[in-house]
Amino acid sequence: MADRTAASTVSGPPQRRESLPSLTGLRFLAAMLVFLTHATLLAGPLRPTAPISFFNDQDIAKPLADFFQFAGPIGVSFFFVLSGFVLTWSATQGDPVTGFWRRRVLKIYPNHIVTWALAMWLFASSSPVHAWLPNLLLVHNFSNRPETVSSVNLPAWSLCSEVLFYALFPLFIILVRRIAQRRLWLWAAAMVAGVAGVTLVTRFIPGGVPVPGYGLTTNQLWFSYGFPPPRLFEFVLGMILARIVAADLWPRIGLLPSAALFAGGYWVALVVPSPYNFSLATIVPVGMIICAAATSDLRGRNGWLSSRTMVWLGSVSFAFYLVQGLVIFYGRPEVFGARTYDTLPALGMLSVLFAANLLAAWLLFSLVEQPVMRRWSRSRKRPAPVAPRSTESVPAGGSV
């Protein structure tokens, strides 16, 4: 079977990949999972005495916070698998490594630098240099010091993993392309086993102090969730799944059964202890949803995920994710203090918070991310000069 992630001719340029707009829509759903975790917190990380949740009825606020507590970690895991899938699907044989790295740097660092600068200006100026400098460079989660890991703009922690993924992708894509088609499923299973292995090893990580609500120490939470190298299993799983779909090896399992299995995995995440609920409980259905959405696009079934609205929301999803530390953790208590509301007004305020976050994301996307990518993401090398045309005819295959 032809592998559509490596479609190229021997003598000609690589062929254009099939578009998968549903995966762009899925990006926003993953970002929304993170938003729901942040927006329902009983206490904010910047002002622990001021609630983030707008609900004054604790019989509503507490169950909501508990229900969405692990939506964020699952959403981040979704991003990591999806990142590996999309990069592999769109990879072009012969694309210079420097060109790939340039595009990835331009994709994440401008947005990060803007939100980092705003966070430093608004609330993080007292951060010590050993915290804010690694955060600026997106290497802070390689440290296990809590004040470094949770410094400046908190959502930026996951970008440390993405930077590692991008740095290693040129090597990984060579290795993944060398996997025989008959062994792709075996390697996918190995990546899931790797996720399980990280989860099991976590309990043996020494040091740190207990983290309330997780049953883990700070070192264990850092290793299983924030430390970039263990997250490589999710990223490489996405890469292998892209090859499985490209080779037409994905069984006809649609989005509905995949979503149902995801719901079951989410329920498991609510009842098992950490770190089993960070990614292990949902890693298989997350991969199923991504593959089902991709195959739906390839078969020309235009669903709601590929609608214009969802594609637009997916396009601003990176900015939507990154501004949450500013809008939710800083803006909500700064504007509304510790005020909470009855159920219906609280739902209205939650909608306002969502709209404010989306507006901030659109501004960041429109004023920073989109212009930077348009201006600098493509190589601007000057074309080679054209030799003067000879007045004599040149035989085919000859030279002047």
Contacts of 144 (CB under 8 A, 6+ apart): 208, 218, 219, 222, 223, 227
Domain boundaries, the chain: 4-10+27-376
pLDDT value, residue 206 = 94
Amino acid of residue 388: P
Q: What does the alpha-carbon distance between residue 120 and residue 287 come to, in Å, rounded to a whole number? A: 37
pLDDT value, residue 3 = 64
pLDDT value, residue 392 = 34
Q: If 0-12 CB within 10 Å is exposed, 13-18 middle and 19+ buried, where does residue 75 land? A: buried
pLDDT value, residue 310 = 96
The pTM of the full predicted model, rounded to 2 decimals, is 0.90
Q: Which letter does DSSP use for residue 226 in this model?
A: I
Half-sphere exposure of 63 (CA within 13 A, CB side): 3
First-to-last alpha carbon distance for the chain, in angstroms, is 43
Amino acid of residue 231: R
Q: How far is CA 260 from CA 70, 231, 297, 349, in A?
A: 18, 25, 20, 30
Per run of 10 residues, the mean pLDDT along the chain (length 400 residues) is 48 57 96 97 89 95 96 97 96 87 94 97 93 95 92 95 97 96 97 97 93 91 96 98 96 94 97 94 97 94 91 97 97 94 97 98 97 81 45 33
Q: What does the alpha-carbon distance between residue 184 and residue 6 come to, in Å, rounded to a whole number? A: 15
Q: What does the alpha-carbon distance between residue 321 and residue 299 come to, in Å, rounded to a whole number? A: 30
Contacts of 356-360 spanning 24+ positions with Cβ under 8 A: 356/327, 356/331, 357/35, 357/320, 357/323, 357/324, 357/327, 357/328, 358/316, 358/320, 360/319, 360/323, 360/326, 360/327
Tokens of 162: 């993405």
